[in-house]
Amino acid sequence: MLLERDRLVAGIESRLIELRGRPEIVRCQRQRNVFEGRRILITGAGGSIGAAIAETLVRRPGAGRLALLDQDDSALQRVMRRIPSSVATPILCNIRDGTGLEQAFQRIDPEVVIHCAALKHVDLLEAQPREALLTNVIGTLNVARISSQWGSHLISLSSDKAAAPENVLGYSKKLGERIVASYSKATKSGGVSIRLGNVLASRGSATEIFLDRALSGRHIEVTDPMMTRYFMTIDEVIAMIEIGLAEGEALGDCLAPDLGTPVSILKLAEVVRSSVGSTAEVQVIGARAGENLHERLFSSTEEIAVSSEFRSYHRVLVPAVDVQDIQRLERIDEAAALVAEMRRLSWPKGDLRQARSA
Asked if residue 39 is part of any domain, the answer here is no
pLDDT of 79 reads 95
| pLDDT at position 354 over 50 | no
Answer for the pair 261, 268: CB distance below 8 angstroms, yes or no: no
Q: What CATH number does residue 147 fall under?
A: 3.40.50.720
Domain residues for the domain of 175 are 27-32+118-199+231-259+300-357
The SS3 assignment for 131 reads helix
Asked if residue 89 is part of any domain, the answer here is no
**Mean of the per-residue pLDDT values of the chain:** 88
Q: What is the pLDDT of residues 271-328, one digit of tens each?
A: 888 888 888 889 999 988 899 999 999 888 888 876 545 567 889 999 999 999 999 9
- With CA atoms as reference, report the closest residue to 78 among 55, 102, 105, 108: 55
Asked if residue 165 is part of any domain, the answer here is yes
Q: At what angle do helices 335-346 and 168-187 cross, to 10 degrees?
A: 50
pLDDT of 136 reads 98
Higher pLDDT: 12 or 227? It is 227
pLDDT of 278 reads 83
Asked if residue 72 is part of any domain, the answer here is no
Asked if residue 163 is part of any domain, the answer here is yes
Higher pLDDT: 33 or 27? It is 33
In this structure, the chain runs to a length of 358
Asked if residue 171 is part of any domain, the answer here is yes
Q: What is the pLDDT of residues 251-263, one digit of tens each?
A: 899 999 988 889 9
Q: How many other CB atoms sit within 10 Å of the CB of residue 281?
A: 10
CA atoms of 337 and 332, how far apart (whole Å) = 7
What domain count does the chain have?
1
Q: What is the pLDDT of residues 180-230, one digit of tens each?
A: 999 998 887 789 999 999 998 677 778 888 888 888 888 899 999 999 999
CA atoms of 18 and 22, how far apart (whole Å) = 8
pTM for the whole thing? 0.92
pLDDT of 304 reads 86
CA atoms of 234 and 51, how far apart (whole Å) = 10
CA atoms of 280 and 155, how far apart (whole Å) = 40
Answer for the pair 314, 298: CB distance below 8 angstroms, yes or no: yes
Cα dihedral sign, 308-319-176-154: positive
Asked if residue 82 is part of any domain, the answer here is no
* Residues sharing a CB contact under 8 Å with residue 199, sequence separation 6 or more, in sequence order: 48, 49, 205, 231, 232, 233, 234, 237
